[in-house]
Amino acid sequence: MQIGAPTTPTPGAGLSTPTARTGLAREHSAFSRIMSMAERAAGPEDPDAATDARARDAAEQLVAAVLVEPILKQLRETSQAAPPFAPTDGEKQFRSMLDARLAHEITSGARFPLVDRLARDLRSHLRTEAQTPTAART
């Protein structure tokens, strides 16, 4: 009998079916998504970091809604797919929701120069507004 260092269990060890593995992966993904939302809602300790995060989020939402989503909509409308590949009624019904989600994923997943520029401008505007006395704003 050999005594060695304790080993840590491998994720997914003991799961024999592929369904159990995908279920565990789905639960892990949902948990990490919820935790990231909670961290964003709590906000960072640094006010400048909070301002940066708010500006970046607003810029991503603006570019997604005004630029990327209309492009995706136009691409879907101009599709000339043959009947076996044409969208079904369900796809047509939820197309706008898919476009909105995909536009958000595109703008938040990549570094768009336009998003970077808008975020930088929003940050400077928010910082200037925060430094201006309240009486001067009215």
Contact 56, 115 (CB under 8 A): yes
- Split the chain (138 residues) into runs of 10 and give each run's mean pLDDT: 49 48 70 63 65 89 94 88 86 88 90 90 85 65
- Find how far residue 72's CA is from the centre of its chain: 17
pLDDT of residue 15: 47
pLDDT of residue 130: 75
pTM: 0.58
pLDDT of residue 71: 95
Contacts of 100 (CB under 8 A, 6+ apart): 64, 65, 69
User: Minimal CA–CA distance to 21: which of 33, 35, 32, 11?
Assistant: 11
